[in-house]
Every structure is written in C-alpha cells, then in structure tokens.
Chain A
Amino acid sequence: NAGVTQTPKFRILKIGQSMTLQCAQDMNHNYMYWYRQDPGMGLKLIYYSVGAGITDKGEVPNGYNVSRSTTEDFPLRLELAAPSQTSVYFCASSTPGLAGGRVETQYFGPGTRLLVL
C-alpha cells in the first residue's frame, strides 16, 4: 500500500510550456484534491474530485485543468506555464464524508516542486 504517489518530484519548465503532474492513490479513496503551497504560506485548494468523471474548482483554479477518468488517478494539467505557478504541488485523497456532514481526513502525497523560468 503506497498511499498517495506523485510524479515527478521536481521539474523546471520554461514560460509557456505545458506539463501534467501525476497523482495516484491505491487506498480506493473516492475523493481526491490538488493543492499548491507557495513559500511561507499554507496550502490552497486548486481542484478536487468526488469520483471518476466529477471535478470541481477550488480556491485557485486559474491556469490549471484536471480530469478524473479512474478512481486511482487525478492528473493536474498546466497548459501555459507562468512564473506565478512556481510552487510545490500536493495531491491528497480521502474517503467520502457521510451524510450529516462528517468530514474524513485527507492524506497527502510527497509533493511535486515546480519551477517556471
């Protein structure tokens, strides 16, 4: 049981290039999330998904796209990289909450450090 895995660990992009950050989980979690962490800051939610084929925007979705074709994978796409997207990206997953508002714990991957020059 590897938990949440992310690839690559580190990447340098040139302005205008595109790339996909990969995220996979083997815990059979329905919910998956993408966050970014800027230096000295907390994490901010980019996108999340409550199941295959269902995604929704978080707090900072501009410049990113996501898809969820399987329960296990939740890739994050940067189409036109900009210096403002230099950050550490974290993927997380959780089991669904229950009716009545129970919230489950999110478990995080190791992160992908992205530098856009």
Chain B
Amino acid sequence: AQKVTQAQTEISVVEKEDVTLDCVYETRDTTYYLFWYKQPPSGELVFLIRRNSFDEQNEISGRYSWNFQKSTSSFNFTITASQVVDSAVYFCALSEARGTASKLTFGTGTRLQVTL
C-alpha cells in the first residue's frame, strides 16, 4: 500500500525567510510519480510539480525548488525568500504507474503561514 507522510502540520515564517516542506513516501512500486499541490485560502488545488521515479534531478522554478531523493524516499519542497502570497496548505501526493489510471495518494498537508 502507498503512503505519504507530511510530518509538519503547520509552519510559520516571517516574509523573506526560506522554508522547506518535508514529504516522505512509501511504495513497493519501482515506477511511480510524485506531485506537489498548493491549496490557497480560497480552497482550490493548484498543481505545482510532477516528478517520476526515474528522474532524480532537482528542479527549480523561480523561488520554488524540489529535492527528490530515492535513497531516503523523500521529495522535499523549498520556498526561497517566502512571501505572504505563499501562505497556503501544501500537499504532497504519490501515484503508482500501473496501467494508465492515476490514483493519487495524498499526504495530510502542511499549512504554511507567512507573516510580515
């Protein structure tokens, strides 16, 4: 069975601080996909990134970066120079790659509060 653990329930930082959100996953599959979604206070889910299990390169997109390490089953997300607009709940999710249907297993989310 798949499992995603986001141990940090809530994080508070002051604007311009860097912050890392942790994600640890469990799966028996050798091929799988990992995702991060953002849920701002308005409630919708916004896709941030998708990564497959064969691509361990770190990725950077503006102030966002992701560190994927298969050896520790982790897919951590770092926001550099955080801003108030980054305040949201962030979800890490895992999908097996059997057949073609993507059934996501979500973590419980990390609430990030960025204050001035």
By a beta-carbon cutoff of 8 Å, the part of chain A in contact with chain B is: 31, 33, 35, 40-45, 48, 50, 56, 58, 88, 90, 92, 94, 96-99, 101-111, 113
The size of the chain B interface, using a CB distance under 8 A, is 26
A108 touches B45 (CB 8 A): yes
Report whether A97 and B109 are in contact in the complex, using a CB–CB cutoff of 8 Å.
no
Q: Are A94 and B108 in contact (CB under 8 A)?
A: no
B interface residues, Cβ below 8 angstroms from A:
4, 31, 33, 35, 37, 43-45, 47, 50, 52, 91, 93, 95, 97-104, 106-109
* Number of A-B residue pairs having CB atoms within 8 Å of each other in the complex: 77
Closest CB pairs A-B (n = 4): A42-B106, A101-B97, A97-B100, A108-B45
Taking a contact as CB atoms under 8 Å apart, the answer to whether A50 and B106 are in contact is no
| Interface pairs (27), CB distance under 8 Å | A33-B103, A35-B104, A40-B108, A42-B106, A43-B45, A43-B91, A43-B106, A45-B104, A48-B103, A50-B101, A88-B43, A96-B100, A97-B97, A97-B99, A101-B31, A101-B99, A101-B100, A102-B52, A103-B33, A103-B52, A103-B97, A108-B37, A108-B44, A108-B47, A109-B44, A110-B43, A110-B44
